[in-house]
Structure 1
Amino acid sequence: MRPIHLPLRNMPLQRKLLALIVPLLIVTVSLTGLYSYVIASREVVDKIRQAQLNMAVKTKDQLDHFAQNSVSFTNYLFLNKTVQEMVGSGDTPSRRDMVFKSLLPLMVTGETIQSLILYAVKDNSTASSPFAITQTGIASAISYDRFKETPYYERLVASPSNQLWDILRPEDNVLTGDSHYKLVYITLYKNHLYQPVGLLIAGMDADKLSRNLFHDNTEDAVQFMMNDEGVVLAATDTAWIGLPVSELPVFGMDGDVPANPAHALDQLKARSDLIVSDSVSDITGWHSVVIQDRSKLVLELREIGSATVSITVIVCLLAIVMSWMIARYVTNPMKKLMHSMKALQIGDFSQRVDIVGNDEFGRLGYLYNSMVGRIKALIHDVYASSLKQREAELKALQSQINPHFLYNTLNMINWSALQKGDKDISEMVVALSQVFRLSLNSGNEFVALSQEIELLRHYLFLQKKRYPSRLYFDIEVDPALHHFRMPKLLLQPLVENAIIYSIEQAEGTGNIFISAYREDGWIRLEVTDNGPGMPEELVQQLNRTGTAGAIRQAADGTRSGMAIANIKERLSLFYKEAAFEIISKEGIGTRAIVRIKEGDQGHDA
């Protein structure tokens, strides 16, 4: 069967993109315009509902901020020493004056608390005269006995937390002469032993709070705060404060007024002609409600309908032009890459593509240039490595020495010395032969610790012959570590360094102590000498960097510096957990420590 897309197969990529994208865009834009007109009503309502919900949440968060400030203010009163003395130690005019002077500035400068009533309860039934202040000065309030007869006290007693958020009506006359509705936080006042010794009422003016909460409200939206009983606590129209929700003008739209104000919010949400959103405060439990008329919002569809047709035509024309530009933008960088790849294919590694930008094409061009450069470098490295490998193999062949020839020669020297009765020379030759034998180790990189110690004994024997009266050494090895596998010649360079610095460059007697033991899951190999030591700065540099250059400089250009660097490199190469450390003090000596994690047998062991 012949494929129907065969004509597109032989077309240039730019024409393919135009042939596929332009019809698709025209159809997509047309369907989108129709679809947007059909669902615009729902989208507008959803957006308004979300905006309303955000507005309700924002108002609720602002209310929580004021409520939290009220709680913080009462907590401050609990901790205020002057208030504690007035409530607990006795209510005197001087103490009242001190409390008044300390609290009035806080109430005047703050925007939360406009009134405060404090009852100092002497026992469960009696109290002193109330302490009452407002932002304007000292005020008067009803007595504690009269307050206990109000429904607010009943609701406070019934509250599990002994806290109450409520609204005080002017007709209740709790704060004498105050004509404002008060949103109050009522709680027990406790002493430092957390025993209730009074009653505290912190109030906010409902009309002032309304202006703070709803100052940016739009004219089309109705906002108010209500409690679970359906009483309006704050509103965009302050005349609604204190009314049941069922008496608000919003219920006059259809004449269906609920009998129970507490169920009014549910009835409002069920109405199809309104968009209602609410959010509940986590602190007070009050509802932040936003209401908007749905019919006013749907009027926006008229503009959407006329705009959809115009936009569809314009977008179709722009789609044709943009498709041609996009196709050209996509194909031009690909053409550059294709031409460069053809040149690279025939071996031109100087190829580079110039694609400007930091988009996908720009990064593709950058990666392509990096790849070509990397391939060129790799080819050069492989060629250079091949030459170096051949040169190394040639040098290795030229420098090979037959161990049997070396041993036979040393044995001949040994027999000659014995025949001539020179026992010292015979012992030195035997020790040197053992050093060579253990160093070569049949070509193996790892040896047992016992073999390394044997090599050190022969090496120190030869050095003892060189410094008979100046060199003394001692070796202590945990017998359980004799079979521990380690890289050969790991300790010999450290012993050589100790001889160089404690014997050759120092006067007097040199002592070298070699030890191997277990400690806290680690195998420690130590070489200690009593040489002149090194400065602290140099020791820190060697332990921190460990580079061959730094150690060579520390060793004044001697071969010992390279040996220490070689030890560190071999430890990192062969072991996952191994460390090398130098401890030295001037005038006392130096200790070189090799630590290998117990159980780590090394990569090449």
Structure 2
Amino acid sequence: MSKKLSFFQSTIVRTVFVCFLLTIVPITFLCSACLDWGAGLLQDEVTHSYYSSTKIVSDSLSDNLITLQTAATAYLLDDECITLSGISASKPNLYFFAKFNSRVKQQFLSSFLDADMICVFPAQSLAVSTKNGVEHLSSYPLLTDLENLGDKHPVWAFRPSYRDPNERCLSIVIGYVHATQTRPIIILEIDEKALSAQLSNLLSKNSGVQASFFQDYQGAWTSFDPDGYLIQPSINGLLEHIEDVPSFYSTESKGTHLRIVPVKMEDIRCVLGLAFDEQSVLAPVIFMRHALIGILVTGSLFTVAYLLRGYRKVYIPTQTLVSSMERLALGDLSVRVEQKQKGEFQILAEHFNSTAQKLETLVKEKYQADVKMKNAQMSFLRSQINPHFLYNSLFNLYNMIKSQDLDNAADMAVYLGQFYRIGAHLDKQELTLGQEVENIIPYLKIHQIRMGGSLDFNCDIQAGLEGFEIPCLSLQSLVENAITHAFTKTGKNAYLNIQAVREGDFVLLSVEDNGSGIDSDTREDILRRLQNSDDDGVFHGLQNVYARLRLLHGEQVSISIEPVPSGGTRVCLRIPDKKWE
């Protein structure tokens, strides 16, 4: 594990950052896509709504123009009109022309559009106008040469006014025209201002509309455009690009995004349309998009701020804990974590410090226990390698050889060799019961020879306990203790009964003798010394055995010293079947 993790290698930092990427970014893109889709739908819906409104107005305007054209055409076949066209040009009766004008004027003044119908009588050089009355053709400069009219203007179109060429109007010429024309000709003129008034209705009925326009088949156009948004390039060529289906397009003028909604008027080959501000119509969507961008930027800033706060509140305490754990793993049990901020990290720091303290205490206790165990073992081994026992055994061996008791001498030599072979096991802390018994039997055989056969013994190990491990020479210490103290004041044959049996989860090791027994005071004194071993690690006899067993198995180990009713003493060790960990 590395000594120090970099900031972006931290699992916490990566988790927070990835969560941000997996939540904010997809949501932002999804919302942006939905807004784009919604903006497109809203644009289409608003455009079609404007198209429908414009279509209604265009149909009404087209019907009115056709109605005017039809009504004017009817006068070409009117009996009164035909009669007037046949009056002598030298002496025309202006009364009849005035009467005819009054009749026509009454009809056209009631029309929806403020149109001027001019009935031209070429033979009489007169023109009857619903607005200007009966006038000589000299008042209409553009009608002096009828040949120029011809069939060039068969439909509604923007032209100079026939009476005032400086004024432009929407007009149409009805009738057969040639240079020698004698039959009447009908001309309808609609003033451009009157047409603009009709176009203004589109603005008043539709919010967001910036301008409306009318274009003839030649591309000439007029508009109602208070703010001057419409420019020539935006309208030119519009008629040629309009299909039978609705066709819309966008343009920019004066920093405003305009949406052009034209409607083709098939009956009169003209176009009526309007232009609205897309930004004002799509303002809610644009606002939402800007708000979304603001949320994304704000979320990013908050994420960075949260990461910086996490670096101080989470990453640094985590790093402190990780580095402390690494030091603890390397064996530095004195390491502690100082955590001032409250919360989970304070709890973790307290538990870590508590664990480190317990580990340090356990290691010290284990070290002290090992030292005591080593001291006890060395003390025991020093007591076992007793030179007096060896000297006495060799002196007895010498006397037996001198007295020619060669058989016993040979046996003693063999038993001595077997007994001191225990030196091969002195480096082991534990031996099995089977190995312990193998060491005890030569020892007892030597004492049998030395005591002249007055010692007898029985060794009974319950089946299955041969592999049970006990501290080295523990059972032998019980045997030596019995031989040393039990038979000093008795003259009868000595007997030892050595047993190892299982009792539940414990194993009982007992040595029973038929010696002089033990009084209660001596027994209490021995038990007191066993429970209060010297702190300096100096042990003797039973105290040594009991101390080593307690170090291995804890307080589950117990020892009992009881007098035998028939005489003698029984010492029993109660050991758990498994070591305490």
Q: Tell me the TM-score normalised to structure 2 length.
A: 0.36
Q: Tell me the TM-score normalised to structure 1 length.
A: 0.35
Query: Which of these two proteins has the greater Rg computed from alpha carbons?
Result: 2
